[in-house]
Structure formats: C-alpha cells, structure tokens
Amino acid sequence: MQELSLYIQFLRSYTRTKILSLGHSFEGIKDIIVAFLIVKRGKYSQSFLNTSFFILVAATVVGGPIIAENNPFLGGLGENQKVGQAAIISYNPYNNAISTVFSIKPRDKVENYSVMGGDTLASIAKKFDISIDTIKWSNDLKSDTIKPGQILKIPPVTGVVHKVASGENIYTIAKKYKTDAQKIVNFPFNDFSDMDTFSLTAGQTLFVPDGVIEEEKPVYAPSKFIAQIQAGVRGSSTFIWPTSGMITQYPVWYHMALDIANPGAPPVLASDGGTVVYADCLRYGYGCHVIINHGNGFQTLYAHLSSFSVGAGQVVSQGQMIGTMGSTGMSTGTHLHFEIRSGGVLLNPLGYLK
C-alpha cells in the first residue's frame, strides 16, 4: 500500500507538471484560436476536435515510456537481464531483498576426458573439483603418470563408481568403501528400484560419494626369514631355464635380467640346486619372489610370482618347482623376472643358461 501511495503521488505530480507546461504553451495562441472559431462560427470545430484527439493519443504514446523510465517503482530490464536468460529471481527473507541466483547444471554421469599436454592428475582433479584418488580409482591407475591423448573417466563427485553385484545393498556398499549409506541415498543421480527400501539392481552403476578404496594387504603363509646356507649344499654352476614362455625383454644395462612371459602362468623351477634364502612378498618392486643361494658364489632370483611353494632355509634341487608365474609387484602382465648374481653383481643370464 505504501508503494502504491508513492506511485499515485508521483503520477499526480508528473501529470500536473505536464498540464501546466501545455497550458502555458497554449495560452499564447488561445486568443487567436478563439477569435478564429468565432469568426468561422463552428465551421472547423469538428476538425479541431479530431485533431485534438490524435494529438492526445500521440502524447500518450510518446510520454508513456518516459513515465515508465523515470518511475523509480518500475525497474526496467538491465543490459545483462535479457528475455530468455537462465536466471531465477528469489526472495531472501533475511534481508527483505530480491536476489538473482544463476543455476549451474551438475554433472550426473561419468565423463571421458582426453589428457592434454601439461595436464597432471592434480590439475585435472582441480578442474573437475574431485580428488586425485577418485580419478585413479575410476581408471585403475597405479601411479600418477598420465600421457597426452589418454582417455580418463571422470566421475561426477569425489568417491567411488561402483557396479552393483547381486545381493549387495547400500549398507554393504557403504561399509565396503568406508562411508555413510545416507550419502549414497542423498546423491540425486543414484537410481533405486524401490525408493522405500533403497533396493538396487544388479549391474547398475552406483555413485558412492566420499567412498575410499583401501588396498588389501596380501596375507601369505610363509613368513619373512633370512636363512643360513646349509653346509654341503652346492649347485652345479650350470643353470637350466626356470620356466617356459616368450622372452619379452632381454638383458640391458638398466635391466640385467630376463623377462619371460606366459599368460598360462606355468610353474617356476629352481635353475640350480641350493638353499632358499628369501621367500616373501613386497608391495612393489619384485612383488612375491624367491632367492636361492647355490653355495658356489652364485644366487638366482625369481620375481613377480603369483605364489611360491618353498620357504626360507629350505634346500631345493635343480628343476624343483618353487612357485608359479604371476604379476605381483611392479608388473603389467604375467611373467617371470629372472636374475643370476655373483658377489652381489648382476650377470647376463644368457651367458649361463643351457
């Protein structure tokens, strides 16, 4: 009501000013017009009335926008507020003011991103506002190394992208990824077959906000133990091939060993007789590996095993099975990394194998 009253006062003042201005202008020619009408005795009265009507209409058309433009209670559209702009006008009850909130479309699915020159996992994570681990988990990356042209899957939020297996529910999944089931429910782009029970469908993709993947520590039966060489146990100083497969890397100065690959994961044999001095697993590097001391200055090493069947301190004979080829440690596929050492120096195995 207060705004309406102010508007009426403004309109009254504006109209009065305009009428007085027109009156003063008309006063100067009033006598001439009156005398002219009296002389002609109404001959042009109809034409005068019609002309006056059109002048009034024209004044309304011209003066209307001026009134609207100068009226403080009628805000026009600014230059940046054009018809069709995606803006939401909202009323803020705390400061009794109008505010404009521009909506931003959230990401609702996994996007593919092509790595560009100069990109790092950190810069990509910052660009998409997610964690580095989220990108690594989604792309099964074991290191921070990426290269231009590589396609990375970018989840919409920090956390884990999980493919639902049969029998799983939001509680078991939340427990698996060390997060709260409520966060799964709260994410607006997660689908549920039943909204009352939040049941899931096997095979569907589920986003687990703030979920983490903890690497499981492998548990192996043999314990780490450095054995003493048993007296009288000596190798033949001749070495047989420890396994079968294709040589994928020959000895070079930075890799003085043989890599023998075989997707069938065949048994690994002792290249010569001796005493096992090490049989254990490392998280990286050689992974699960066995070292045999042959009692004659030579040692052999068998790395990246999926499993081993000997323990430290055990005597083995040439050709005895000591484990199975695998891909543990720093490995990209099933293969055996085989070394021959003498006095702590790596030797070229091809000069000793028969």
288-293 and 111-114: which strand pairing? unpaired
The residue-averaged pLDDT of 135-159 equals: 90
Q: Choose one of 162, 192, 209: the last residue of a domain.
A: 209
Q: Residue 42 burial by CB count (10 A; 0-12/13-18/19+): exposed, middle or buried?
A: exposed
The reply to whether 266 falls in a domain is: yes
pLDDT given for residue 83 in this prediction: 37
pLDDT given for residue 193 in this prediction: 87
- Tokens matching residue 294: 């042959």
CATH of the domain at 297: 2.70.70.10
Q: What's the number of domains the chain is made of?
A: 3
Q: Is residue 346 within 8 Å of 257, Cβ to Cβ?
A: yes
Looking at the structure, do residues 58 and 129 belong to the same domain, yes or no? Answer: no
Instruction: Answer with the residue of higher pLDDT: 277 or 233.
Output: 277
pTM, two decimals, is 0.38
Q: Choose one of 70, 89, 120: the last residue of a domain.
A: 70
Chain centre to alpha carbon of residue 240: 50
Residue 154 has pLDDT above 50, yes or no: yes
Q: Which is nearest to 102 in space by CA: 86, 90, 126?
A: 86
The Cα–Cα gap between 266 and 335 comes to 9
Q: Choose one of 49, 70, 91: the last residue of a domain.
A: 70
pLDDT given for residue 333 in this prediction: 87
The pLDDT tens digits of the residues spanning 256-271 come to 999 999 999 999 999 9
pLDDT given for residue 37 in this prediction: 59
pLDDT given for residue 216 in this prediction: 60
The reply to whether 180 falls in a domain is: yes
The reply to whether 134 falls in a domain is: yes
The pLDDT tens digits of the residues spanning 17-34 come to 878 777 777 666 666 666
The Cα–Cα gap between 274 and 334 comes to 26
The DSSP call for residue 316 is E
The reply to whether 102 falls in a domain is: no
Instruction: Answer with the residue of higher pLDDT: 198 or 334.
Output: 334
The Cα–Cα gap between 41 and 39 comes to 5
The DSSP call for residue 351 is G
The reply to whether 238 falls in a domain is: no
CA-only gyration radius of the chain, Å? 43
The reply to whether 224 falls in a domain is: no
The Cα–Cα gap between 154 and 107 comes to 10
Lowest mean pLDDT among 3-7, 148-152, 170-174, 193-197: 3-7
pLDDT given for residue 78 in this prediction: 43
Looking at the structure, do residues 124 and 66 belong to the same domain, yes or no? Answer: no
The pLDDT tens digits of the residues spanning 75-91 come to 444 444 443 444 444 44
The residue-averaged pLDDT of 156-175 equals: 91
Looking at the structure, do residues 255 and 319 belong to the same domain, yes or no? Answer: yes
> Among residues of the chain, what percentage have pLDDT more than 70?
72
Residue 140 has pLDDT above 70, yes or no: yes
pLDDT given for residue 317 in this prediction: 93
Element (H, E) at 172: helix 170-176
Dihedral angle at the C-alpha atoms of 248, 246, 297, 342, nearest 10 degrees? Answer: -10
Strands (DSSP E) contained in 78-137 are: 88-92, 97-101, 111-114
Q: How confident is the model at residue 64 (pLDDT cuts 50, 70, 90)?
A: low
The Cα–Cα gap between 278 and 224 comes to 7
Q: How confident is the model at residue 274 (pLDDT cuts 50, 70, 90)?
A: very high
The residue-averaged pLDDT of 334-339 equals: 94
Q: How confident is the model at residue 38 (pLDDT cuts 50, 70, 90)?
A: low
The reply to whether 122 falls in a domain is: yes
DSSP lists the bridge partners of residue 293 as 275, 299
pLDDT given for residue 36 in this prediction: 61
Instruction: Answer with the residue of higher pLDDT: 127 or 102.
Output: 127
Looking at the structure, do residues 43 and 126 belong to the same domain, yes or no? Answer: no
- Residue range of the domain that includes 172: 111-209
Looking at the structure, do residues 250 and 337 belong to the same domain, yes or no? Answer: yes
The reply to whether 92 falls in a domain is: no
The pLDDT tens digits of the residues spanning 184-207 come to 888 888 889 888 888 899 999 999
- Torsion sign (Cα): 70, 72, 76, 80: positive
- Provide the mean pLDDT of the chain: 79
Instruction: Answer with the residue of higher pLDDT: 1 or 218.
Output: 1
Looking at the structure, do residues 125 and 65 belong to the same domain, yes or no? Answer: no
Helix (H, G, I), strand (E, B), or coil: what is residue 49? helix
Lowest mean pLDDT among 110-114, 139-143, 148-152: 139-143
